[in-house]
Amino acid sequence: MALSIPVVWTDAHRLHNPETAVWIGVPIPTDELPERAEAIRSALKDAGAPIVPTAAHPDEPMLAVHKPELVEFLRGAWDAWASSELPADPVQPDVVGYIFPTPGFLGGIEPRVPTALSARTGAYCYDTMTVVADGTWEAARAAVDAALTAADLVLGGKPAAYACCRPPGHHVTRGAFGGSCYLNNSAVAAQYLRDGGFARVAVLDLDAHHGNGAQAIFWERGDVLTGSLHVDPARGWFPHFLGFADERGSEAGEGLNLNVPLEPGSGDDVWLAGVEQLVAAARTHRSEALVVPLGVDAGAGDPNSPLQVTEEGFREAGRRLGTLGLPTVFVQEGGYVLDTIGPLVRATLEGFERGATS
């Protein structure tokens, strides 16, 4: 049977294509490539899914989640960098940070925003690998629009919609970007569903890495449950500093942040038990709508994660999410193997449709 979940698409993702990322100070080839989204679209088109163009949205839904300073920095960063001396001396074509206002450095004092362009990035970006290149802003902003278009479809009565977007977003907090992400597409969609009338929303993140962005954004919120299933950060995986099981939320959000860290090498059985924990939490929360930051880098063979989930595992995860019977927005996050990224997303969405109709 043909896949009926609409696939929201924008060509603007191609504008984000930096030549290099920087990792531990060394320029390396980037693997968050335009070919990723193209491969997914192709697999979903083959499955019969309708392709829906992204509609432009005003800034307000994005600013409901992100600080205006972060948005303004991203909007102007590359132009400012490109027109400075930095691309010629010391020859850094893209925006990259070098000094960061860590708590130990500040000693409790509120930091100023640096006047030097070379330092200002550290006020908004928390790592040195997530460069802002020519076209990054346009692509990241269009990815937000794709997530919002998918949310519009669900608010309009579609049982589910999928935003086929990049760059990804789930590592971005209210005021800081990193982890190859710039704007938190899935968190924007979750807040938009709240504002659109769903009283309680669940964000259940299947990417192989901790969804630290939604955790931070909704930490004190009772109306948005955040759950994340990921490789144990204590075993040497991004985002290293966060993503542990004892991070449970506070204030009205006490107990409504659920982290399920997994041992490297975990396969379908262990991973699906984690999916079941997230699904059970959404039931307890009585969530009325669901956002799934859908990274497929937990798939076996992905160089960015040691998890070993199969295509059948993703299909079963989709089925279990579908049994919640909730209006659902899927938003693309990680997944870096061009041969398998499409089939894994397809399997998840097909599983979801099976679960939702059984």
Window 72 to 101, contacts with Zn ion (CB under 5 A): none
- Nearer residue to Zn ion within complex by CB, 128 or 212: 212
Are the CB atoms for 87 and 134 separated by under 8 Å? no
What's the rounded Cα separation, in Å, for the pair 338 and 257?
A: 32
Angle between helices 341-357 and 311-322 (to 10 degrees): 30
- Nearer residue to Zn ion within complex by CB, 36 or 200: 36
Residue 160-199 contact track with Zn ion, rule CB under 5 A, x = bound: ----------------------------------------
Minimum CB separation of residue 29 from Zn ion in Å reads: 17
- Nearer residue to Zn ion within complex by CB, 96 or 208: 208
- Nearer residue to Zn ion within complex by CB, 209 or 319: 209
Taking CB under 5 A as the binding criterion, the range among 88-96, 115-123, 154-162, 204-212 that sits at the site for Zn ion is: 204-212
200 in contact with Zn ion (CB under 5 A): no
Q: What are the residue numbers of the active site?
A: 171
334 in contact with Zn ion (CB under 5 A): yes
Measured from the Cβ of residue 40, the count of other Cβ atoms closer than 10 Å reads 27
- Output the CA–CA distances (angstroms, integers) from residue 88 to 83, 85, 302, 317, in the order listed: 10, 6, 36, 49
What's the rounded Cα separation, in Å, for the pair 18 and 136?
A: 8
- Nearer residue to Zn ion within complex by CB, 207 or 353: 207
**What are the residue ranges of helices labelled H in the chain?**
34-46, 60-63, 68-82, 103-106, 117-120, 136-155, 185-195, 212-217, 268-285, 311-322, 341-357
Taking CB under 5 A as the binding criterion, the range among 4-12, 19-27, 276-284, 332-340 that sits at the site for Zn ion is: 332-340
232 in contact with Zn ion (CB under 5 A): no
295 in contact with Zn ion (CB under 5 A): yes
Burial environment of residue 73 by CB neighbours within 10 A (0 to 12, 13 to 18, 19 or more): buried
Minimum CB separation of residue 67 from Zn ion in Å reads: 24
Taking CB under 5 A as the binding criterion, the range among 75-83, 127-135, 200-208, 281-289 that sits at the site for Zn ion is: 200-208
Closest residue to Zn ion, judged by C-beta, is 334
Amino acid at 276: E
What's the rounded Cα separation, in Å, for the pair 101 and 121?
A: 11
Burial environment of residue 83 by CB neighbours within 10 A (0 to 12, 13 to 18, 19 or more): exposed
Minimum CB separation of residue 186 from Zn ion in Å reads: 12
Taking CB under 5 A as the binding criterion, the range among 159-167, 218-226, 330-338, 346-354 that sits at the site for Zn ion is: 330-338
Angle between helices 311-322 and 268-285 (to 10 degrees): 10
- Nearer residue to Zn ion within complex by CB, 54 or 180: 180
Minimum CB separation of residue 154 from Zn ion in Å reads: 24
- Nearer residue to Zn ion within complex by CB, 152 or 207: 207
Angle between helices 136-155 and 185-195 (to 10 degrees): 30
Which H or E run includes 53?
Answer: strand 51-53
Residue 106-125 contact track with Zn ion, rule CB under 5 A, x = bound: --------------------
32 in contact with Zn ion (CB under 5 A): no
Tokens of 125: 């970006």
209 in contact with Zn ion (CB under 5 A): yes
207 in contact with Zn ion (CB under 5 A): yes
Query: Which residues lie near Zn ion (CB under 5 A)?
Result: 207-209, 295, 297, 334
